[in-house]
Amino acid sequence: MFENRERTDINELGEFGLIKHLTQHVELLSEHSVKGVGDDAAVLDAKNLSTLVSTDLLMEGIHFDLTYVPLVHLGYKAVQVNLSDIYAMNGVAAQITVSIALSSRFPLEAVEEIYKGINLACKKYNIDLVGGDTTSSKQGLVISITSIGYAKPEDIAYRNGAKEHDLICVSGDLGAAYLGLQILEREKQIYLENPKIQPDLEGKDYLIERQLKPEARRDIVALLADLGIKPTAMIDVSDGLASELLHLADQSGVGVTIYEEKIPLDPMTYETARELGLDPTVCALSGGEDYELLFTISQADYAKLKHDVDVTVIGHITDKNSGAKMISKSEKVHELKAQGWNAFMTKNKDKPGT
Amino acid sequence: MFENRERTDINELGEFGLIKHLTQHVELLSEHSVKGVGDDAAVLDAKNLSTLVSTDLLMEGIHFDLTYVPLVHLGYKAVQVNLSDIYAMNGVAAQITVSIALSSRFPLEAVEEIYKGINLACKKYNIDLVGGDTTSSKQGLVISITSIGYAKPEDIAYRNGAKEHDLICVSGDLGAAYLGLQILEREKQIYLENPKIQPDLEGKDYLIERQLKPEARRDIVALLADLGIKPTAMIDVSDGLASELLHLADQSGVGVTIYEEKIPLDPMTYETARELGLDPTVCALSGGEDYELLFTISQADYAKLKHDVDVTVIGHITDKNSGAKMISKSEKVHELKAQGWNAFMTKNKDKPGT
């Protein structure tokens, strides 16, 4: 990486020089941002709203593999993963802080690529980069992002508000990011065995894009506001539909029943799963990294939402004793189990997630 | 480490289990904390105050050496380093988020030790732990902390408010943490050469404590409020007095003049520097990690502060063209240069800092 390109040693700039270099063009856009990079702390103004804060730590070799993840996409995705948590509270994201640690194998140009992705995401989602830290690393690349957002207290959607008979909804479609990862891993293996073979990603663009360049669903938060719907509970799908449903059920003290035939799958997800000998439903239930929003609404709100093609009702909330269930296409009852990727089980590289 | 003690594999708990295990006894104390760990994001209430946010990324092998840093101290210090940035804005810290990545050499008991230190710091400083992330690492330990605090907009002390003729003040004393590190490094070398020799830290307790267990100066923020003083500019001393003075001068567009004889040094700092053949003044100027507060006040406020033994006036603000200067004990004029530790220059292990 970067062997044949321009290569500037980060030591030439030093820590303060690097921060200045990376943030010199940052302009604060949000009305909630008073002071960004350059002092001991950023200064924010909540303007009578509640403040939402979420943080993620992304480690090279655990959460991303630089053999096939371009640095610009890594920066973009690192931001999206974090914003997704703010949207999952039914809030509007406004700021991030970014800390990056790099080992000496990364030149300045590498950091610039990561920041290009970060800045792209910030611009597209109206996010101010208000602080951070850069340091060296003995352990490869580490990215830590904290995102900050705002919401009226009464609009916040927690995980614990789902009530019996509520409808379970999910945005977009599921399982594609997981299959994108399978394709990238397959091509990596082929490349490692024979570097002359070009990667064959034809016809898989949607899956690859879902894996490398996810988009947090700010638009769904806006849609729900437009429709006058407050979700009774909400969570983002980062570890797989099953794991998130179990979180909602557990924290709300309820049961869930979903219908396999209702789970939204893109045709490319379905076909590719079949090609790879995988069950498309399992990819949706346990794959993760979809960054879609999973939420519950009261039945009274169903009419407002039923014509929206980007939201699918996949089931309903039941009483706690009914447990967490999926009714299969053949009308069999399956108990839902969390098989989402676990960041501590690194041996199982097939289970992605953050 | 932990070879002869209880050793529980973190995999047994899994990511969600670990978070639950570590945060199960967390009670929210701040009126600014609405919802802590357990949802997609923490929910905070600024209550009409400005919000202050600061973040740090601490890497094993760069910022700390586990051969002589006990994990409980590491957790405690990681929090202090972060709180110090909030106090340096003249704010009150209220919350932190903590993300930790660990390689498989760390058992559950190691994480518990780190959290013991984190919780101790939180309890002592009235801080709520409201969120975070735990993940595995291919190598070593990574700690990322974001701290959140509050202040009235008009009370915030930026780095850019120092005016000509203002007095330059510093809390506590300087250089001790740097010398503590020198002692610890010396004993580490002796130990590596002959593991049978016990470390000789006698009479160096203050220096070791300043290095391993610094205390952020919340009390100075409270003192200034009590005295009715708003600093015209403020910064915390993490990279050494010289580096911080240059930041204040640069951002305020002014010059600084300090007097060597006024720089507060503990007698133990002075004696140990001499013992080790180091210049005590250089230890204060360039050592770093003191986490004292460096601030400027208008001369009109001097009378309110002059009897406080924990704050020393070390110089005054001059016009920009006069530059950044120190008048030595022999009345020579030295130009101040930033020689604070640079996180990218890891070869120079003698320069500590975060």
Name the E strands within chain B.
33-35, 42-45, 50-59, 92-102, 128-136, 142-151, 167-171, 233-236, 255-259, 293-297, 311-318, 324-327, 333-335
| Residue A176 near residue A207, CB atoms below 8 Å | yes
**What is the overall mean pLDDT for chain A?**
91
Alpha helices in A126-266 (DSSP H): 176-193, 205-212, 218-227, 241-252
| Host H or E run for residue A293 | strand A293-297
pLDDT at B53: 98
Distance CA B115, CA A138 (A): 23
Backbone angles phi, psi at A216, to 5 degrees: -65, 145
pLDDT at A1: 46
**Nearest-neighbour CA in chain B from A160: distance (Å):** 9
The residues near B112 (Cβ < 8 Å, ≥ 6 apart) are B22
User: Per-residue pLDDT averaged across B53-60, rounded?
Assistant: 96
pLDDT at B4: 53
pLDDT at A15: 67
Q: Would you place residue A284 in the very low, low, confident or very high pLDDT band (cuts 50, 70, 90)?
A: very high
User: Per-residue pLDDT averaged across A257-283, rounded?
Assistant: 97
User: Per-residue pLDDT averaged across B10-17, rounded?
Assistant: 72
Q: Would you place residue A27 in the very low, low, confident or very high pLDDT band (cuts 50, 70, 90)?
A: confident
CB contact under 8 A, A146 and B146: yes
| Residue A307 near residue A320, CB atoms below 8 Å | no
**pLDDT > 80? residue B24:** no
**What is the overall mean pLDDT for chain B?**
91
Residues 293-322 of B with CB under 8 A from A: none
Nearest to A324 by CA among A342, A311, A337: A337
Q: Which of B6-20, B154-168, B183-197 has the lowest mean pLDDT?
A: B6-20
**pLDDT > 80? residue B235:** yes
CA atoms in the 13 A half-sphere facing the CB of A293? 33
**Nearest-neighbour CA in chain B from A302: distance (Å):** 24
pLDDT at A24: 72
Which class is B167-335 in CATH?
Answer: alpha beta
Residues 164-183 of A with CB under 8 A from B: none
In chain B, which segments carry CATH 3.30.1330.10? 10-155
**A205 has binding-site annotation:** no
CB contact under 8 A, A56 and B138: no
Distance CA A246, CA A178 (A): 20
Residue in chain A closest to B353 (alpha carbons) equals: A135
pLDDT 10s digits, A80-113 = 999 999 999 999 999 999 999 999 889 989 999 9
What would the two tokens of residue B269 be?
């700092």
pLDDT 10s digits, A219-229 = 999 999 999 99
Compute chain A's Rg from CA coordinates.
21
High-pLDDT (> 90) share of chain B, %: 79
CB contact under 8 A, A56 and B99: yes
User: Per-residue pLDDT averaged across B276-287, rounded?
Assistant: 95
Distance CA A282, CA A279 (A): 5
For chain A, say whether B133 makes contact (Cβ under 8 Å): yes
pLDDT at A217: 98
For chain B, say whether A60 makes contact (Cβ under 8 Å): yes
User: Per-residue pLDDT averaged across B211-219, rounded?
Assistant: 97
Q: Which of A48, A132, A153 sits opposite B55 (nearest CB)?
A: A132
CB contact under 8 A, A15 and B342: yes
User: Per-residue pLDDT averaged across B185-207, rounded?
Assistant: 87
**pLDDT > 60? residue B351:** no
**pLDDT > 80? residue B273:** yes
Cβ atoms < 10 Å from Cβ of B328: 12
For chain B, say whether A246 makes contact (Cβ under 8 Å): no
How many CB pairs lie under 8 A apart between chains A and B?
Answer: 231
**pLDDT > 60? residue B244:** yes
For residue A100, the Cα-to-chain-centroid distance in whole angstroms is: 19
Token pair 């449903």: residue? A245
CB contact under 8 A, A139 and B142: yes
Alpha helices in B194-288 (DSSP H): 205-212, 218-227, 241-252, 267-275, 280-286
CA dihedral B148, B150, B155, B158 (to 10 degrees): 10
**CA separation (Å) from A239 to A246, A291, B116, B222?**
11, 9, 29, 44
**pLDDT > 60? residue B314:** yes
| Residue A88 near residue A235, CB atoms below 8 Å | yes
Residue type for position B274: R
pLDDT 10s digits, A54-65 = 999 999 999 999
Token pair 């915390």: residue? B236
High-pLDDT (> 90) share of chain A, %: 78
For chain A, say whether B144 makes contact (Cβ under 8 Å): yes
Residues of chain B in contact with residue A36, where contact means CB-CB under 8 angstroms, are: none
Q: Would you place residue A18 in the very low, low, confident or very high pLDDT band (cuts 50, 70, 90)?
A: confident
pLDDT at B72: 97
**pLDDT > 80? residue B80:** yes
pLDDT at A16: 67
In chain A, which segments carry CATH 3.90.650.10? 167-335
Residues of chain A in contact with residue B35, where contact means CB-CB under 8 angstroms, are: 158
Distance CA B226, CA B90 (A): 13
pLDDT at B172: 98
Q: Which of B15, B138, B342 sits opposite A343 (nearest CB)?
A: B15
- DSSP characters over B37-68: BTBSSEEEE-TTSEEEEEEEEEEBTTTB-TTT
**pLDDT > 70? residue A348:** no
**pLDDT > 70? residue B1:** no
Nearest to A230 by CA among A170, A312, A301, A294: A301
pLDDT at B5: 61
Q: Which of A22-26, A288-292, B149-153 has the lowest mean pLDDT?
A: A22-26
Q: Would you place residue B218 in the very low, low, confident or very high pLDDT band (cuts 50, 70, 90)?
A: very high
pLDDT at A56: 94
Q: Which residues of B are annotated as a binding site?
A: 40, 54-56, 63, 85, 115, 132-133, 159, 236, 238-239, 289, 341
Residues of chain A in contact with residue B85, where contact means CB-CB under 8 angstroms, are: 40-41
Distance CA A181, CA A115 (A): 23
Q: Which of A8-12, B93-97, B114-118, B309-313 has the lowest mean pLDDT?
A: A8-12
For chain B, say whether A91 makes contact (Cβ under 8 Å): yes
User: Is CATH 3.30.1330.10 correct for B10-155?
Assistant: yes
For chain A, say whether B78 makes contact (Cβ under 8 Å): no
| Residue B340 near residue B242, CB atoms below 8 Å | yes
CB contact under 8 A, A89 and B43: yes
Distance CA B192, CA B195 (A): 6
Residue in chain A closest to B48 (alpha carbons) equals: A48
Backbone angles phi, psi at A62, to 5 degrees: -110, -55
For chain A, say whether B218 makes contact (Cβ under 8 Å): no
pLDDT at A351: 38
Distance CA A37, CA B232 (A): 19
Token pair 């999973």: residue? A294
pLDDT at B282: 95
User: Per-residue pLDDT averaged across B167-172, rounded?
Assistant: 98
User: Per-residue pLDDT averaged across A136-148, rounded?
Assistant: 93
pLDDT at A4: 53
| Residue B314 near residue B170, CB atoms below 8 Å | yes
**Nearest-neighbour CA in chain B from A48: distance (Å):** 6
pLDDT 10s digits, A198-253 = 777 888 999 999 999 999 999 999 999 999 999 999 999 999 999 999 999 999 99
**pLDDT > 90? residue B133:** no
Distance CA B242, CA B282 (A): 9
Give the β-pairing of B42-45 and A50-59: antiparallel
High-pLDDT (> 70) share of chain B, %: 93
User: Per-residue pLDDT averaged across B15-37, rounded?
Assistant: 83
User: Per-residue pLDDT averaged across B181-191, rounded?
Assistant: 92
**Three-state DSSP class for A196?**
coil
